[in-house]
Each structure stands twice: as structure tokens, then as C-alpha cells.
Structure 1
Amino acid sequence: MARSRPAPTLQAVCLWEDAPVPAPVPLPAHQLHYTIPSVDVFQFLYAQLNKHCLLFEHVLAWTNKSYSLPKSVVMALALRALQHTYGGSGQFLLEPILYKDKWKSMRGGEAVTLEGLGIEKSIEAHGFGWFQPKINWQTLRLNQAEQWFTQYEIRSGAGAGHGAQWDNDVSSSDDEGTSTIDGSQQRRRAWIDFLHGLNLNQFDYDVASMMKKNHRTSPELLGDDSMARLRQLSFCYEGLAQVFTVNSEAQPPHSIVGNKTQMKTAGALVNYLLDFDDGEAQPSWADLSYQLIYQKTCEVVERHLGEQWRRRWETEYKFLLQLTHWVLPHAERQSFLNPTKSNHSKGIMSRMSWFSSVYQEPASYKGKVAGWPPKTARTLQEIIWQGYNTTILKAESAPAPAPVPVPPIPSWDISELFLALREQGVYASNMDEDFVLGRAHCRKTITPVWEHGTPPRLWICEQIVDKSHEELEKVFEGMLSREG
């Protein structure tokens, strides 16, 4: 069957139902006025059943083996509505997630805001074609941008089986944020940091899942390729050097270095991986879960704190992503991790593509460091280590240059990491220029350059990884009580 977009077929079903009803055929005189021929009843039921089954099968046909949350929600919606196709709105009352708009419910002794699809109004306007305005037929997702709660509730009730990573959802802290962030800068900071952790962990999970997916097509991972192992990787040269194999030998990740590379800075790549409202056509991997969570987080922050805080959160998150990922996944419109071309006759295998991000410290910043050798660049790890000593340990100065290897640093609080870096002249505002693609020219050869050491670890990311919805709430409550 050709995989051309059959969305108009589904729309035609709804339009057919909205079309004017033809004049009824007069009943034979011997039949009672309330008699409905059986053939009409069966044709009606057949049309309703087919409509929902067609919606389910259509979305399923355009979804990969691992279903994204937005698309599986549409499939779950079709199945949950199927049992009510001929029962009228009275039966829909049994499904508040489908029937109602917004309402309050008691959970754990507290009032929680829930959101449904509001089918009650759609039925009045469109009859049995109620779901026509609820779905974006181009993307096959629920149409309303604000219906994050609906997606979460439908997923929970339908058991879509996305695994523990979807317990890390933004809605776990949305209602808490409404009542706790007002009037307290510290509590607001805790909420913002919690959202940073949710997004960073989901990004790592999706990168790991795409690594595993690419490995099935073109084997490249060395040893254990389980998600448990891949999720624990540190995204730097040291963390990935023993992960990949070429011809049964361990090899570092393949970093793009060619002159035709469009992305020259890590900031440009991060913008490409995250931005959703730039007016550009969406890439084929736009339905990855981390993008959905990022988009919803931006909307939640703006709704509660305003546009200025939303922009601040976006800037902070992109900065954190670069600080904690010195090797980033490279992506183009048609592929994530952008596999290279293979040539089996020449023994060339396809490899996942990565972006080696290297921090180039401006010369003016190095002058602030007492005792640092002249004309010697500081690595990002040395900068972080210096900031830890002078800002966190309150040392008057840190030895220069830093010892080799650099001593390990405990997990960072996000605010303390930002403060330590500001003291060393590293700001989120200059990340677009100073985090660049690491590569060096040697005659006619271009070789990758890697940042030495390991990225900073964040306390919040370690606290919430693999936590259930209830456990996340406890972590968040602990953060709020700590801030006071």
C-alpha cells in the first residue's frame, strides 16, 4: 500500500457525516412511524466503528515501532471513544477526560486541575464528527496546544507503556508551581531548576534510544547496548571513547569536521535541536519526547511567570545543555545522529555523527586568573575546577595551572554552578560564540578536537532519574522545604 498521506480520507468521513441528510424514503404504510429498518441501524453502527478504527490504523501506519506520546494519545483516544460511538453523550459522561473541559479533582487530599478534550461542545457543533476539529491532520496530534494534561491523563489511563521516562513530565510540577513560586525567589528558583532537570534527563533518554535504534540498523556499539548502560553515559570524549567499535576495535565517536558542515557553533546546533517556533519546517525527528517536554515547559513557565522568565529559562537550559554535553548529537532534517554513508565493498561502515563542542575562552578573560601561565588556554574543566575552589570552597585562589588529572567535583546545584562560572567570566550570553566545533587543520587533513575531562554533574538530574510520578513530587516538595 503506497504511503501517501491519506488524511483527506479521514476528513472525508467527517465531512460526509456533516453533510445534509437526504430526504427520508417514505415508510410503507404497514410500518409504525417509530420503526427503524435494521439495515439502517447496522449501516450507522458500521460507519461509526469504521471511523474510529480507521483513525487508529491511520496513525499506527504513520508511526514508528516506538510510539511518541502525542501520536499514541490519538490512538488511545480513538479506542477509548470507540465504545461510546452509539451510546450518545450520556455514555460519554463516563469518560470525563474525553467529555469535560477543565475541572478540579481531589488527589492525595489536594485539589488538582485536570483537563479534557471538551467533546461536549464538539458534539453539539459536529455531531458524530466531533473529533474533526480536535486533531491536527497534518501532524496527527491533538490540536490544542494547551492540552498537556489531557495527553498525560489519557496516556495514564490507556496504559500506553512509554516506560519510566514519561513519569518525568512537566505536569508533575505545574500545579505545585502555581501555588508555591509566588512571593519567594528561592522557591521559584527550585521550580525552575526542577524543570531543567526534567528536560535534561529526557534529552539524555531520547539520545540513548536513538543510539540503540541506529545500532540495530548499523551495529556500532561496543559491548552492552542496553538502555540502562546508554542512559548512564557521560557525553564527552572520555565517556564515549569506549562505547563505539569499528572492525571489532574500540573507536571514539565520529565527530563531524568537514568544511561543508553547516553547524559551526554548539549554540547553533542546540537551537536547531530545540527551537519549535522559528517558522522552519519540522524535521523528521520532531516528535521525539524531549522536544514535546521542552515546548510544554516553555509554555508553562510563560503562563506562570511571564514571557521574560520564559526567555530566561530557555537561555539557562540551552547553557546547561552545552555545559553538561561536550559531545552533542548531530542532526539534519531527515535524520537524528545523521548516519554517515557506508560502502561495504570498501569496508566502510555507517557511523552515527556527533558534534565535538570545545570552549574557546576569550583572551580578555584569562587575565582575571592570578598566576595563570601566559598564552596558555584554560580548558572548560579547568575553568569549572577554578570556580569550584574560589566560589564554593572559598579559597583565595586556586593553583594555576590546575593539577592533572583535575580532582573530581561533587554534583552541582545549578545556581552555584552559574555563580562559579560567572566568577570565571563564563556567561550564558556568550555561549553562541565561544562554544565551537572542535577541529584542527593539519595540512590537507581535518581532525576532531575534543574537550578534555568530564562535564559537571547536576544534583537535580541525579535525584529525579527513573523516579515515578509520586517520587518526583516528593523530591520537589523536599526542594521547596529546603528553600523555605
Structure 2
Amino acid sequence: MWQAQKWAQLYSVRELPANRSIWLEYLYSTVIELFQCDVWRATEKSLEWTTGSDLTEEAAARFPKANPPAYCYEVLQDLFHDRCRNVSHTRLHLLVGNKIRSLNVWNLVCDLLGFDLHDGRLEQRKSLKSTPYRIATRRSIELVSDVLGHTEACRWFMKLGRLLLLTHWILPWPSTTKLISTTKESGKKDLKRRLIWVSLVYATPDLLRLYNHRSTVPMCPIGGKERQTTVRDQLCQALHATSTERFGPSGWAPESDPSDSRFHWVPEDLLRRTGPILSVESFNIGRAVEPCSKGKVYPLAERGQPPILRLVSRIRNRTLEELDQLFSDLILAAQSEAEYQEFGENSATQPASDFDLDVTHPDLDQHGFTRNLNRTASGNLMNPTSATSDTASDSDTVDSSSTRNPPTRLRRALRSR
């Protein structure tokens, strides 16, 4: 996380809103990327169980530790063994019974992230197993608090919790000593050890109507007898409407693949667009009771795959130098966007021919961002004292006394109008 501390000073994130958004996005993405890898690493440890693994070897080969799967029922439903029933390539073990300490989904989020928010203050939960993503969460909170203040750190943590729910529809059930709890194993009772997971479902009005006044579990028929699970599609339908609004009906369709980089999300955009329909309170632990089943509880799950944040895969397995370059490219992309918006506002009154244009490089770098290979970020995006002074003689540097000029690709856009 030391790069983020360096970037906070280098790019003046306290003073410059565009840079601040990118910096906070990097912190969100770092925690979530580490979370995904840590959870899958803990899952693969079941391969070492002497009494038999919970995860199939095919799943471990398909998804190595550094490339975990999407955490949703659609992807995870065939990756596990059920040794009690002697069934392979089946669903994971979803929590439905008396191990549920709390029905509050936010409590689960705090258990996973290792912090509580009480009376406007963040307090670290004690005695939890230390993991890289929890360390990154703590360091991120400290960084945001140091740079932007404690109130902003609390706000960042709340948004991180919402992002965790929006991008993971299956979550591990943690304990104080393990990232993923396990069921009991008993040879006498023929009980086999299994990893415990939690399914999240969208608490729509139709689901809430299935609760009666004495029960904390809705009553509805089982959709799949073989796997003793009902799969709903309310969450993917809600997000389909949001994705259509965001990416356009010609770009997004119900059959579109969320893993396609064209449909990856900026965290703030995802939070803003889903805010009216998907708050923390919109999620329930997925479980139900089948009618006439003497109260036996079974799991509910959501169909489809969750949204993906645009930086999570891009920062995975990167060197420090590559991360520096990626962050620089993000800053320059933000600069181009800000300039485009500025010229969009001014083009009606100022013709494009009035601009003396600088020269930019049109190529895309390895991370997919357009960047000028010979320029540093201008003063409105980087602290002027942080930029090297020997760039003053570069041919593409704009004189500070002249009118600020747009890059070439913006001139082309304006001419095409």
C-alpha cells in the first residue's frame, strides 16, 4: 500500500477531486482483489484435508490461486464434492441453519472486513484471523483518514461494504480463527467436513411477502430437488436494467458477459446507479422453508453473475512498476476526459481553429488507456512541485502564459461535428 501513500502526495489527491476519485478507486479495487484471492486460497486448502477435499481437483486446475472465480452460484455450483451424499461436481455448502449468528448482512460484511462502525467511529474487530485483504483494509482506512480525514474514511468503508455485496453474491462464512468456517466431521454420524458459504439474495417485495409474522425464513417451494436449492433471477434483472442504462441497449443485453471488459464498472458509478434500488438492506441471507416440510430450511441463490470493477483484474499480478504506470495512465485518462468536457462546454462560443494544439501519442499502452508518452500530468492533475523540472523544454509542453490547449484527438472530435 506504500504506492498509494506516495500517489496521495504526488498527485495531490486532497486538493484535486479527479485524482482523489482514482486514488479511492484503487484502494477499493486493491482490497477486493486481495479478498477474492485470499478466499480462493483458503478454499483450495481443502485439497489438503486427509479425509477428502471439499473442492474438486478440476476446479483447482481451472481456477488457480491467482485467478479466482466469480463468487456467485452460477459459477460455483459445479465445483464441489458432497461426500455425505457421495456426489461430485455439485454445489457448495450454503448456510441455512443454527450457525447463523445474525441475519443482518452488514454484520457479515463487518466480520469479513474486520471493522465495525459505531457512532461515527471505525473500530477494528479483535481476534480475527489476519489476512492480506484485512491488512489492506486497515491500511486503506488509515491512509484515507490521514489524507482526507476520519469522516471520509468512514464513508469509504461504508462504500467498500456495499461494493463487496454488489460484486459477490456468494460470501464465505468466517470465524475468529478461519476465513471460511467448516461443518463438523464425525465418522459415527457419517458427517463430512465442508466449507460454509452464504448466499445473498435480493429482498424484493415478492420475497418479503413470503414471510409470516412468526418466522425469519420465507416459505416457498424448492425449485431444484436434486440440489435442494431454489435459484431466483430478481437480482440479475435489477442489474440488467441498470447495465442497460449505463452501457446502452445497443451495448448491453441479457446474454452479455459481465467479465467482458467493456462492461466493467467504475466503483462510484456502480454505487450511484444502484443506490436507488440496492442498498445494504436490500440483501438477505438466502434461505427458505418448503411448504409441508416440517420446517426444513433450504438455500436460495441468485442466477447470473455480479458486476466486475474495472481495476480488479488490471492490478492483479502486476509489478510495482506496472502499477505505477497504470495509475499514471488513469490520471492522464481523467485529464483527457476533463478536457473533453471543458471543450464541450466552450465549443459553442469558441471555434476549434482558435486553438494552438499540442501533439499527443495515439497508441494504447498495455493497460488499455490512451496516454501521451512524453508528457507529465498538467498542473490541474498533479502537484506542480512533484513534476520533474526538465520537462519544460519538451516540444509538447504548453507554455504557462498561453491558452490551455486540447490534445489532438479532441480537435478531431470537434472538427467532426
Correspondence 1:330 to 2:162: no
1:176 aligned onto 2:10:
no
**Matching residue within 285, 298, 301 for 1:437:** 285
Following superposition, the deviation at residue 273 of structure 1 comes to 1.5
Q: Which blocks of at least 5 consecutive residues in structure 1 are unaligned? A: 1-169, 364-376
Q: 1:263, 1:252 → 2: CA distance?
A: 23
> 1:214: Cα distance to partner?
3.0
Q: CA deviation at 1:463?
A: 1.0
Confirm or deny: 8 A CA contact 2:31 2:133 kept in the other structure: yes
Q: Partners in 2 of 1:228 and 1:245 — Cα distance?
A: 16
Partner of 2:366: none
Q: Are residues 279 and 407 of structure 1, via their aligned partners in 2, closer, same or farther at CA, if it must alter by over 3 Å?
A: closer
Question: Residue 332 of structure 1: SS of its match in structure 2?
Answer: coil
Say whether the 8 Å CA contact 2:47–2:57 is kept in structure 1. Answer: no
Equivalence for 1:421: 274
The superposition leaves residues 200-222 of structure 1 with CA deviations (integer Å, 9 ceiling, x where unpaired) of: 11111111111122331241111
What is the match of residue 229 of structure 1?
64
CA shift, 1:346, in A, is: 4.3
Query: 2:298 corresponds to which residue?
Result: 447
Q: Return the structure number with greater relative CO, CA threshold 8 A, min gap 6.
A: 2
Deviations for 1:357-415, whole angstroms, at most 9, x for unmatched residues? 1121358xxxxxxxxxxxxx9722111110121233279xx9xxxx8x54334212223
Deviation at 1:223, TM superposition (A): 2.4
Counting only pairs closer than 5 Å after superposition, residues 84-123 of structure 1 correspond to structure 2 as none
Displacement of 1:228? 4.9
* Percent identity between the two aligned chains: 24
For the structure 1 residues 394 and 226, does the alpha-carbon distance in structure 2 shift closer, same or farther, using more than 3 Å as the test?
A: closer
Structure with more helix by fraction:
1
Letter in 2 for 1:191: W
Alpha-carbon distance, 1:248 to partner? 5.0
How much has 1:186 moved relative to structure 2? 1.6
Give the aligned residue type for 2:57: G
Q: Which position in structure 2 is the counterpart of 1:189?
A: 21
**Residue in structure 2 matched with residue 393 of structure 1 by the alignment:** 248
The aligned counterpart of 1:204 is 36
Q: Match for residue 103 of structure 2?
A: 264
Counterpart of 1:350 in structure 2: which amino acid?
A: R
> What is the identity, as a one-letter code, of the residue corresponding to 1:223?
E
Q: CA RMSD in A?
A: 2.3
Q: How far apart, CA to CA, are the structure 2 residues paired with 1:384 and 1:279?
A: 32
AA aligned to 1:420 is R
After TM superposition, list the pairs within 5 Å mapping 1:284-295 onto structure 2: 285=129, 287-295=130-138
Q: Deviations over 1:216-236 (max 9, x none)?
A: 124111123259535331101
Matched position secondary structure for 1:436: strand
Cα distance in structure 2, aligned partners of 1:203 and 1:179: 27
3-state SS in 1 of match to 2:47: helix
1:407 aligns with 2:256: yes
Distance 1:267 1:388 in 2: 25
Task: Give the Cα separation in 2 of the matches to 1:226 and 1:269.
Answer: 29
- For the residue of structure 1 that corresponds to 2:302, the secondary structure is coil
**CA 1:362 to 1:300, structure 2 compared with 1: closer, same or farther past 3 Å?**
farther
Tell me, in whole angstroms, the C-alpha distance in 2 between the residues paired with 1:299 and 1:280. Answer: 15
C-alpha distance in 1 between matches for 2:90 and 2:189:
19
Q: Distance in 1 between matches of 2:138 and 2:41?
A: 20
Q: Do the aligned partners of residues 479 and 359 (structure 1) sit closer, same or farther apart at CA in structure 2, a change above 3 Å counting?
A: same
Cα distance change of structure 1 residues 471 and 280 upon mapping to structure 2, 3 Å threshold? closer
CA–CA distance in 1 between the matches of 2:193 and 2:70?
A: 23
SS of structure 2 residue aligned to 1:449: strand
Q: Distance in 2 between matches of 1:279 and 1:248?
A: 41
Tell me the amino acid that sits aligned with residue 10 of structure 2. S
8 Å contact from structure 1 (residues 330, 337) kept in 2? yes
Equivalent residue, structure 1, for 2:77: 241
Letter in 2 for 1:391: R
- Aligned amino acid, residue 331 of structure 1: P
- Kept after mapping to 2: 8 A contact 1:330/1:354: yes
The secondary structure found in structure 2 opposite 1:182 is coil
Offset, 1:187: 1.3
How many angstroms apart in 2 are the aligned matches of 1:265 and 1:227?
Answer: 34
Partner Cα distance (1:437, 1:199) in 2 = 23
Give every structure 1 segment of 4 or more consecutive aligned residues whose post-TM-superposition deviation is greater than 4 Å: none
Aligned residue type for 2:56: L
1:379–1:185 Cα change, 3 Å: same
Question: Residues of 2 paired with 1:435 and 1:242: CA distance?
Answer: 24
- Per the TM alignment, residue 482 of structure 1 is displaced from its structure 2 partner at its CA by 0.8
- Which residue in 2 is equivalent to 1:281? 126
**Contact conserved, 2:203 with 2:284, CA < 8 A, in 1?**
yes
Give the SS at the match of 2:201. Answer: strand
Report how far residue 419 of structure 1 moved. Answer: 3.0
Cα distance per residue 1:81-134 (max 9 Å; x no partner): xxxxxxxxxxxxxxxxxxxxxxxxxxxxxxxxxxxxxxxxxxxxxxxxxxxxxx
Residues 258-310 of structure 1 deviation map (CA, whole Å, 9 limit, x = unaligned): 14511313321011121346465313x2x111111110110001111111211
Q: Any unmatched runs of 5+ in structure 2?
A: 116-121, 207-231, 336-417
Q: 1:466 offset after TM fit, Å?
A: 0.9
Match of 1:250 in 2: 89
TM-score (norm 1): 0.56
Aligned residue type for 2:289:
H
- 1:339–1:352 contact (8 Å) kept in structure 2: yes
Confirm or deny that 1:305 pairs with 2:148: yes
For 1:359, which of 198, 202, 218 is the aligned residue? 202
Question: Number of aligned pairs?
Answer: 288
Counterpart residue type for residue 300 of structure 2: V
Q: Return the alpha-carbon distance in structure 1 between the equivalents of residues 233 and 54 of structure 2.
A: 33
What CA deviation, in whole Å up to 9, does each residue of 1:323-363 have, x standing for no partner?
11100000122333111011234443100000111121358
- Matched AA of 1:272: D
- Asked if the contact 1:265–1:357 (Cα under 8 Å) also holds between the matched residues in 2, the reply is no
